[in-house]
Amino acid sequence: MIWQFDFIILALALVCAVASISLKDLLSAAIVFGAYSFLMCLLWTEMGAVDVAFTEAAVGAGVSTVFFIAAVLHTSRQVKPRRHGRFFYKVIGGAAALVIGGILLAASADFPTWGDPASPASTHVSPHYILHSIPDTAVPNIVTSVLADYRGFDTMFETSVIFVAGLAVLAILGRFGRRQRDEEPAEFAAVPIAGQSPIIQTACRIFVPFMQLFALYVVAHGHHSPGGGFQGGVILAASFILIAISYDLRTMLGRLRERLNMLFASLGVMIYAGTGALCLLMGANFLDYSVLHHILPATSPIMARSHGMLAVEVGVAFTVMAVMVLIYVNIASHGKSDKGL
Amino acid sequence: MIDAIVVVLFVVGLLSFFSTTIGILRFPDFYSRMHAAGKGDVFSSVAILLGLVVYHLRHPSVGGTLVAIKILMISLFIFIASPTATHAIIDAGFTAGIKPWSKDENRPEGEGGQ
């Protein structure tokens, strides 16, 4: 850990954070917020948390910035002119922020120093994972084995949370009903496909297959290198969003039908929970993959845990990809999912 | 000898990053700033990445070569993606109706240099 490097990154992150809440132009604020996420990603890489940094780069700096920009483009670009609050409220707000901030700063002095081998986290449970990950599960990337096996129950609900987020976006923005469906064919014929210039379209067309291949690699290789279902799913979703931005939302929906996309979102959660339920059916605990060696050919109980993790990661990737695409489609089209950005 | 190549590539990259920054700050309007940002960004990041490739090939090993190939692929990606992004931004600016700066007229309000 190089403290000068940390210091510069943290100072820049602070500048970005203050700028993104004080800028009046919301588009600039969204972009500055993306820069803030990327600085945090650098910080995590520097601290050795590469999986977290990967997620932050894909979700925080990548897809969520696109969501923000799409939302800004479809609502308003300027901050609503604020009535000047009364001085009294400003004083109370400032005082509360100062007091809470002071308490937090005082409490941070009690934290163990970074990487302290005598801290509770490093003496209690971490050594168990570090010592047992390879003998137990044959997975060298301990983050994956903790995420998908030792704490698989947690991750199942993380996946469900993402699924519920997709449902919430659909419930708020989505427009259903027969009228909408009847109008669609006429609209399809009336609106020409706008899209971007041919240069952008060609470059994006070249990139999309490589992005998807890389996403599959990230999902499947999460056992041995940083990555996994969440990161791979986001990259897959990014490839579809790239098609929607460079061509048209309708072109993208032609490749990935909305109905199919929703099916993928629920299929992912079902794969995850189904793997757990299968273990339950075969007489072991929920998500105890080692019992799966009875049905997987030529595997030991240890390798079965590794394969079970892969199945679960695939489920996560399905849900994350589908929900990210769903959120983008609904934000970019006011829920009608017909026109482009 | 190989270290010298690495240092030269890094210095070239950093110098051109520096001139890119000066260009963004000093050029008069949107288009010329993007001209500085687009070209300088691609050249300097590719130069630094090539320096890293050479650095990893100093001592021949399987792991080092693998990392070098990955960095080469990243620089190829930047070589295609970054000019496309610059084109997209300029295209969007043109569509939004930003007028280019010219010497004869007065500088447009809000578009001029600081």
Does position A189 have pLDDT exceeding 60, yes or no?
no
Cβ–Cβ gap A197/B84 under 8 Å: no
Higher-pLDDT residue of B107, A178: B107
Does position A273 have pLDDT exceeding 80, yes or no?
yes
Cβ–Cβ gap A207/B87 under 8 Å: no
Q: What is the dihedral of CA A123, A126, A131, A136, to 10 degrees?
A: 140
Q: A200 at the B interface (CB within 8 A)?
A: yes
Cβ–Cβ gap A207/B91 under 8 Å: no
Cβ–Cβ gap B84/A200 under 8 Å: yes
Cβ–Cβ gap A199/B80 under 8 Å: no
What is the dotted CATH code of the domain comprising A1-117? 1.20.120.1200
Confidence grade of residue B106 (pLDDT, cut at 50, 70, 90):
low
Q: A198 at the B interface (CB within 8 A)?
A: no
Q: What is the residue extent of each domain of chain A?
A: 1-117, 142-341
Chain B residues with beta carbon closer than 8 angstroms to that of A208? none
Mean pLDDT of A87-98: 89
CA neighbours closer than 13 Å in the CB half-sphere of residue A118:
2
Q: Report the chain A residue with the minimal C-alpha distance to residue B70.
A: A214
Q: What is the residue extent of each domain of chain B?
A: 2-95
The complex scores an ipTM of 0.81
Which ranges of B29-105 does DSSP label H, i.e. alpha helix? 30-56, 62-95
Dump the DSSP string for A209-277. HHHHHHHHHHHHGGGTSS--HHHHHHHHHHHHHHHHHHT-HHHHHHHS-HHHHHHHHHHHHHHHHHHHH
Mean pLDDT of A131-140: 89
Q: Is A16 exposed, middle or buried (0-12, 13-18, 19+ CB in 10 A)?
A: buried
In angstroms, rounded to a whole number, what is the distance separating the alpha carbons of residues A326 and A249?
A: 12
Cβ–Cβ gap B91/A200 under 8 Å: yes
Q: Report the chain B residue with the minimal C-alpha distance to residue A245.
A: B88
pLDDT, position B108? 52
Q: A217 at the B interface (CB within 8 A)?
A: no
Q: Report the chain B residue with the minimal C-alpha distance to residue A202.
A: B84
Tell me the average pLDDT of chain A: 86
